[in-house]
Amino acid sequence: MGKITVETCPIEGVKVITPQVFGDERGYFMESYNYNDFAEEGIDVSFVQDNQSSSVRGVLRGMHFQINHPQDKLVRVIRGEVFDAVIDLREGSKTFGKWFGTVLSAENKKQLFIPKNFAHGFLVLSDIAEFAYKCSDFYHPGDEGGIRYDDPEVGIEWPRLDMKLNIIERDLNWKGIAGYRAGTDL
């Protein structure tokens, strides 16, 4: 074992994972996921779906979650660089409404484990980024919720907001976390 290093984050359950990378003049090799290593570190999750997306600089996707079918996620960047952010939406959590963010890149090979009941999003910092993630439940169309990316009550400190952002209308129309607390249609 010992093929990964796991950093705990200020929000319980969120973890940054750095795999052991073996490199030489030919390139590198790493295990991006090994159930036994993750379970040993307290991430005992069965993933059922892998997704991958490609986005250009300035794309901001988020902050998304599944309402009735929440998902644990393991996310990483396989090309380029993003700032990845999560918001704790767990009822009764001492960090409810708090956020955590980190840079994920093809270069640093870090991954972020996001437990169920978190909103998730990312901002592309490189010219292009390919984003890969594992989910513990299947995607259910019509079960999407969201929190507005710039909700001042949450206060995510997105880097480089001076760049031209590319955000779809749906993500611009999400309400803030106050709407989530009130149980309004998010």
For residue range 130-175, list pLDDT tens digits in order.
Answer: 999 999 999 999 999 999 999 999 999 999 888 999 999 999 999 9
Domain that holds residue 152: 48-181
pLDDT at residue 180, rounded to an integer: 84
**Does residue 184 carry a pLDDT above 80?**
no
- Confirm whether 72 is domain-assigned: yes
pTM for the full model? 0.94
What average pLDDT score do residues 113-127 get?
98
Is 64 in the active site? Answer: yes
What average pLDDT score do residues 37-53 get?
96
- Confirm whether 115 is domain-assigned: yes
Q: Choose the catalytic residue: 33, 35, 133, 149.
A: 133
- The domain total for the chain is 1
Q: What confidence tens digit (pLDDT) does each residue in 65-88 have?
A: 999 999 999 999 999 999 999 999
- Confirm whether 36 is domain-assigned: no
Q: Choose the catalytic residue: 64, 69, 120, 149.
A: 64
- Confirm whether 3 is domain-assigned: no
pLDDT at residue 160, rounded to an integer: 84
CATH number where 174 lies: 2.60.120.10
**Does residue 1 carry a pLDDT above 80?**
no
113 vs 184: which has the higher pLDDT: 113
Mean pLDDT across the chain, nearest whole number? 94
For the chain, where are the E strands, in sequence order?
A: 4-8, 15-19, 22-24, 27-29, 49-56, 60-66, 73-79, 81-88, 99-105, 111-114, 118-124, 128-135, 144-146
